[in-house]
Amino acid sequence: MPGSELRAPQQEAMSPPRRVLVTGATGLLGRAVCREFEGGGWAVIGTGFRRAKPRLLRCDITDEDAVRALLQEYRPDVVVHCAAERRPDVMEHHSEAAVHLNVHATSTLAKEAAAGGALLLYISSDYVFDGRNPPYGEDDSPSPLNLYGRSKLEGERETLRHCPGGLVLRVPVLYGQVQSVGESAVTSLWETLQTGEDRGLDHLMKRHPTHTEDVAAVCRKICERAREDPSVRGVFHFSAKEQMTKYEMAVCIAEAFNLPTGHLIPLTEQPPPQQFALRPMNSQLSCCRLEQLNLSVEPRPFRAAVQTCLWPFTPDKLWRQTVFH
């Protein structure tokens, strides 16, 4: 098969498990989604590209032929599309490649999923909204401020246009079990805390940091329900409830680890658009649709959850790993 290196695990002859294909399985959310579905008894087929690892398939999802061959060979029941360029500032400078991944690859996946009878769940973003009138319900009109938001909105439209029974799940900024602290905009604040140098942090834009394991649980629940109930389709929102600025996140992390915060400077003016992609002031998501269908999960508290995520990167933990391994 073009673009592949490994086959999916052998299926049991008598009772084949349900199969889920997870794109971006090497990424922050993709890893959590794979673990969640595996724990739920699904046969998981994970794909990656530049960072593909053992037990995962290497597939360039911007290659239409490779995507077609992948779905025809493994015939998944569900496709969870996590792969994306998610960095707004990067998108502004590498727009063609990013749009190719966020929009065109999504269109191909939607067409092939529909052709093979698979359910497609597309992971989208709260950045499809402009942040001027929160909270936003699933039926509110999107109005993205930057290229990243526009590309995610176009990905939503391609999903629902080519795969009428498809699902869209919009989520806010994510954090979780990271391989490096820079993998999430939330855990990357750890590096700021470690330097001890004066650092200005945004204290204007409201965010709702959400754990990937909570998102993954919602993904599994919504896919399992949608396969049983054809009326479960369209756009859904999931978000944690705690509202924080980047400055407040950093202070919370510091307090969790008894670190000083005096060098953190709250910034209350938006940076010039020439320096960074515009971002919404408050793109809070209303999650009523999931809650009405009893498909939501209770988000884990930020302080305890982020402490667990960052504990492996504390000096004592790193020293012990070096000594004993």
Tens of pLDDT, residues 277-295: 889 999 999 999 999 999 9
Local structure of 226: helix, strand or coil: helix
Tokens found for residue 288: 């009523």
pLDDT of residue 7: 47
What does residue 201 show for φ and ψ, rounded to 5 degrees? -130, 140
pTM: 0.89
* Mean pLDDT, range 171-180, rounded to an integer: 96
**pLDDT at residue 120 is higher than 90:** yes
* Domain spans of the chain, in order of start: 19-181+209-241+284-301
> Between 314 and 275, whose confidence is greater?
314
Q: Which residues contact 201 (CB under 8 A, 6 or more apart)?
A: 189, 192, 245, 246, 247, 250, 264, 265, 266, 267
Residues with catalytic roles: 148
- CATH 3.40.50.720: does it fit domain 19-181+209-241+284-301? yes
pLDDT of residue 315: 77
Torsion of CA 44, 160, 210, 43, to 10 degrees: -10
